Amino acid sequence: MSELARHFDTLAIIGVGLIGSSLAAAAKANKLASHIVLYDLNPAVRSRVQELGLGDVAETVETAVSGADLIILCTPPATMGAIGAQIGTHIQAGAIVTDVGSVKEAIVQQLRPVLPESCFLIPGHPIAGVEKSGPDAGFATLFEGRWAILTPLADPRPAYQDAVERLTHFWEAMGAKVDCMDPVRHDQVLAMTSHLPHLIAFCVVATAQDVEAVTDSEVVKYSAGGFRDFTRIAASDPTMWRDVFLLNKDAVLDLLGRFSEDLTALRRAIRWGDGDTLFSTFERARTMRREVIEAGQDTAITNFGRDLTASAKAKDDGKSD
Amino acid sequence: MSELARHFDTLAIIGVGLIGSSLAAAAKANKLASHIVLYDLNPAVRSRVQELGLGDVAETVETAVSGADLIILCTPPATMGAIGAQIGTHIQAGAIVTDVGSVKEAIVQQLRPVLPESCFLIPGHPIAGVEKSGPDAGFATLFEGRWAILTPLADPRPAYQDAVERLTHFWEAMGAKVDCMDPVRHDQVLAMTSHLPHLIAFCVVATAQDVEAVTDSEVVKYSAGGFRDFTRIAASDPTMWRDVFLLNKDAVLDLLGRFSEDLTALRRAIRWGDGDTLFSTFERARTMRREVIEAGQDTAITNFGRDLTASAKAKDDGKSD
């Protein structure tokens, strides 16, 4: 594919949270678009985007998308249908419309009917995120080494296939690896690797906040025993996660059923003193860490390397004694 | 307290895993004992300890503790009673005997009857750990900035109080902060901040391994969506964790009951489309991250700083653009 095809004239980013602002920074850093136009429903976010110099700020979503040849919807999953309906008649022919939502089948269902035939809808989802939200949280390297999943429609037009290829190169130019997948399959896989872990992390933190026998300050004080890891993912954006669970209901409920059964089995093993069941479950679970690291999906450095940062750097030096 | 009182003549470490080897390294680095003697039941571990130069390796547990004025048991929680019975008659009068077990009441019950009156039993637990095990995992700075909990007995002898003070200074000299606590209270608090999170992490990973609809390699590939955080704590030592759950059964079962109720409520909210319940739970959980960071119990750096390590260091530089 030529350099020209990889480059877009005007990239419109709708919704400027962590992902929207990271996309703007990454597209700018890698010179992937001549113009970047951003819009957010929240006027305070629009002002902040202006201050951060992420691109041109549009005052309405309609003007943001007019003239864009790549439109990326970065708003919470449940908002996509309404936004699609609002911008539908303003999208130029041949534009690529994609999104970054954590659920895919529901978003396809929302967007497909409200967008014009003349544009190319290619839903997407970068498997990249951090525990911080908003336009200040974004950074240009968020997608480096991460997977970006595209769930193209069954659209036989050659121009559609070209559009998929252009969008693939766009993500690759930001350092991502691209996989194409059926949207239903995406939702099943992500329910396991992302949605269930987030729901459980939110729930563990909520349980800790409600337990009368242990105060919140004790929980915080002794959180290095394991709890602190859960607080990181429980710090993710609540609006986005609410939408994810409501829109990927069946897959999440199915896995929650499985998890609850498995947890009940462990609970029974504890009650009856069945150490063998506990040991074999723990031993088996342990192997997965190595696989995650070998696949380059996490750092092999102890404690995520959290002790190597800032003032703790001195500790690392001590370690090599 | 004088420098002399803080210093021990012979420190005996029984069980050389992550904590035992870290204690040896920290005691050596901070010059807290003239001699360090180590013993492990596993001959391969003893050889490795020799190679690592952590101290003098004893061939039996009896010789390891003979002549020691500080004995630290670092073996799995369920082994403490048998080891105490084995070493009881070999402990010199006035020696301090402590441990690092993650449960306290059960260990007090095991050790108290089998140790001589002439030594000072002061159970303990450093809230510090990483996902790696064995003598190679240890490092001298593991306890820096972490809490070490002591659960002293109700022993009115002034010499016992002096011993508690000496042990407190020993931990402080390795960079730890010391709290004294009732053993039952310890077990309740740690059930929430450590035991429940570990059980849930083990269970999430086990569920992922068993789900037929999603392959293990897909789980690994897309684990950056949240799952990878769980694999870290699920990589902890299975023997130790089996013992923890069996020995802190009541507190863990109580919290598991609470957690399961809370998770069922979220499950019901998802099934019935109750977005308000989901949002308010997530919003509330989010606040705890800030508290953990303000208390100095975790890094404030995005993604635990895992992206700042090794080759990813370049990304951080990019972030400041």
Q: What are the chain B neighbours of A29 within 8 Å (beta carbons)?
A: 318, 321
DSSP one-letter code for A68: -
Best of A236, A303, A317, A321 to substitute, by most chain B Cβ atoms within 10 angstroms, is: A303
The pLDDT of residue A157: 95
Q: Tell me what the mean pLDDT of segment B196-214 comes to.
A: 94
Examine the pLDDT at B2 and tell me if it is beyond 60: no
- What is the per-residue pLDDT across A230-268, written as a single tens digit (0 to 9) for each? 998 899 999 999 999 999 999 999 999 999 999 999 999
- The length of chain A is 321
Whether residue B232 contacts residue B131, with contact meaning beta carbons closer than 8 Å, is answered with yes
Q: What does the pLDDT read at residue B321?
A: 30
Give the pLDDT of residue B62.
Answer: 98
Residue A307 CA to its chain's centroid (Å): 25
pLDDT of residue A5: 63
pLDDT digits (tens, 9 = 90+) for B42-90: 999 999 999 999 999 999 999 999 999 999 999 999 999 999 999 999 9
Average pLDDT, stretch B207-221? 91
A71-115 pLDDT, tens digit per residue, is 999 999 999 999 999 999 999 999 999 999 999 999 999 999 999
% residues pLDDT > 70 (chain B): 93
Which residues on neighbouring strands pair with residue A39, listed in sequence order?
A: A14
Report the residue of B21, B179, B230 to disrupt the A interface, i.e. the one with the largest count of A CBs within 10 Å. Answer: B230
The model's pLDDT over B132-178, given as tens digits with 9 standing for 90+, comes to 889 999 999 999 999 999 999 999 999 999 999 999 999 999 999 99
Angle between helices A196-210 and B196-210 (to 10 degrees): 160
At B68 the three-state DSSP class reads coil
Q: What is the mean pLDDT of the segment spanning B223-227?
A: 89
Cα distances (angstroms) measured from residue B184 to each of B90, B107, B181, B189: 29, 11, 8, 9
The reported pTM is: 0.90
Give residue B308's pLDDT band: very low, low, confident or very high (50, 70, 90): low
- Using a pLDDT cut of 90, give the percent of chain B over it: 80
3-state secondary structure of B120: strand
| Predicted local distance difference test score (pLDDT) of residue A317 | 37
CB contact under 8 A, A221 and B295: yes
- How confident is the model at residue A318, as a pLDDT? 37
Helices (H), A135-274: 158-173, 183-190, 196-210, 216-221, 227-233, 238-247, 249-271
Nearest to B219 among A149, A193, A234 (CB): A193
**Which of A79, A230, A240, A249 best tests the B interface by mutation, with the highest count of B CBs <10 A?**
A230
CB count in 10 Å sphere of residue A48? 18
Please list the rounded mean pLDDT of every run of 10 residues in chain A (321 residues). 71 97 97 97 97 97 97 97 97 98 97 97 93 92 95 96 97 97 96 96 95 89 89 91 97 97 97 97 92 84 67 38 30
Closest residue to A222, CB basis, from B190, B266, B283? B190
Partner-chain contact B282 A255, CB within 8 Å: no
CA–CA gap between residue B126 and residue B137 (Å, rounded): 16
Residue B103's pLDDT is what? 98
Residue A295: predicted pLDDT: 86
Q: Where are the alpha helices (DSSP H) in chain B?
A: 3-6, 18-29, 43-52, 61-65, 80-87, 105-111, 158-173, 183-190, 196-210, 216-221, 227-233, 238-247, 249-271, 275-294, 313-319
| A282 with B241: Cβ contact below 8 A | yes
Length of chain B: 321
CB B252 within 8 A of CB B245: yes
pLDDT at A6: 66
Domains of chain B, first to last = 7-181 (3.40.50.720), 185-273 (1.10.3660.10)
- Are residues B236 and A130, on separate chains, in Cβ contact within 8 Å? no
Residue B130 binned pLDDT confidence (cut-offs 50, 70, 90)? confident
Contacts of B271 by beta carbon, 8 Å cutoff, 6+ apart: A249, A253
Q: Is the pLDDT of residue B320 over 50?
A: no
